[in-house]
Amino acid sequence: MVGVDISPKMIELARKAGIFGRSEFIVKDVETLGKIGDFDIAVGMYLMNYAKTPKQLMHFCRAVAMNLKPGGRFVGFNDYPYNPQEKYGTYEKYGFRKTTVTGRKEGDPVTYYITTPDGREFQFDNFYLSPGTYEKAFKQEGFSSFNWEGPWLSEEGSINYPDGYWDDFMKHPPLCGMSARRN
């Protein structure tokens, strides 16, 4: 397994966590990663939503495709572009809210404000690209399928929280899984 991140700090944390056994780690921008192997699966946890333009998203998809075997899978999690803008402020009870500029357009920042269980706050930006841009980028860059997946409520989530607690999240997911298969 090989882990890639543009941030040396994130790679340092992954190395220290040691949960990936004998993995290799590379500090690199995925956009210019090039070919590093022939993998069965590529995982992009909140990666694609860092693309600021349709072109950059295509470059991310191209980099993933060139590192997958034919028939290999991409799976990931992402800011969900189908999330209606008017719902962005409705996730406070889950510890976060999203904001964006009025009239959300391709490349506009989606700012997440997170409150941790111990009361600390931080924020970061993802970037909005429309669902059609995602679908097109994956198809054009060598994937035969692209799907938004879930999210699904885990058994643990439904057992440990009151009835209806997750309704707002599940009715209008702010985040979503994604999968694609290489040609």
Ligand X SMILES: C[S@@+](CC[C@H](N)C(=O)[O-])C[C@H]1O[C@@H](n2cnc3c(N)ncnc32)[C@H](O)[C@@H]1O
Q: Tell me which residues touch ligand X (CB under 6 A).
A: 4-7, 10, 29-31, 45-47, 50
Complex with ligand X: residue 77 or 143, whichever CB lies closer = 77
Cβ closest to ligand X, residue 5 vs residue 141: 5
- Closest residue to ligand X, judged by C-beta, is 45
Q: Could you tell me the smallest distance in angstroms from the CB atom of residue 148 to ligand X?
A: 18
CA-to-CA separations, 182 to 2, 39, 71, 168, in angstroms, rounded: 19, 11, 5, 34
Give yes or no for a contact between 154 and 82, defined as CB atoms under 8 angstroms apart: no
SS (H, E, C) 97-142: EEEECCCCCCCCEEEEEEECCCCCEEEEEEECCCHHHHHHHHHHCC
Q: What is the closest distance, in whole angstroms, from the C-beta atom of residue 167 to ligand X in the complex?
A: 25
Question: Kindly report the CA angle at 149 between 28 and 13, in degrees rounded to 5?
Answer: 30
Minimal distance, residue 14 CB to ligand X, in Å = 8
Q: Which residue number, 7 or 160, has a Cβ lying nearer to ligand X?
A: 7
The nearer residue to ligand X, 99 or 183, going by C-beta atoms, is: 99
Distance CA 134, CA 56 (A): 11
Shortest distance, position 85 Cβ to ligand X, whole Å: 21
